[in-house]
Amino acid sequence: MIRSLPLLGLLWIAYNSLILAGRPSDLLGHGLFHVGLPSQALWSVTLGDILIFAGVLLLYVEIFKATRSSTASILDHALSMLIFVLFLVEFLIAPQAGNSVFFALTLMALLDVVAGFSVTIVAARRDVDLDR
């Protein structure tokens, strides 16, 4: 059952923790560290960047989790849909969530839902077409 929990929910919790800690616009845009590139450019990595990087990695894991076919995958899809709804409602209603970082995380939650259902439908169709 723990494997069915959507990992993108951790990002939702992390972002809301930032909202409680202060103004997310100040926190998200603040450079945490800098990386010197071979082109002599200086790349400033912000907390918002790290949230998006973590979201991409967690989205990969979620899509990988969607490839398993079990009864727990139904619960996984339902919880992923719930997380997407939480992201979407917060983006539309909470002023602290009205920024590009939160929108990108909302899109990742949407992709998790769509990819999960798509993978499940393809796997189910493949299981049904065994007589070919």
Residue 131 vs residues 92, 99, 114: alpha-carbon distances, Å: 48, 50, 28
Q: In terms of C-beta density within 10 A (0-12 exposed, 13-18 middle, 19 or more buried), how is residue 93 classed?
A: exposed
pLDDT digits (tens, 9 = 90+) for 99-113: 999 999 999 999 999
The bridge status of strand 42-46 relative to strand 31-36 is antiparallel
pLDDT digits (tens, 9 = 90+) for 59-101: 999 888 887 767 777 788 889 999 999 999 999 999 999 999 9
> Residue 26 pLDDT more than 90?
no
Q: In terms of C-beta density within 10 A (0-12 exposed, 13-18 middle, 19 or more buried), how is residue 24 classed?
A: buried
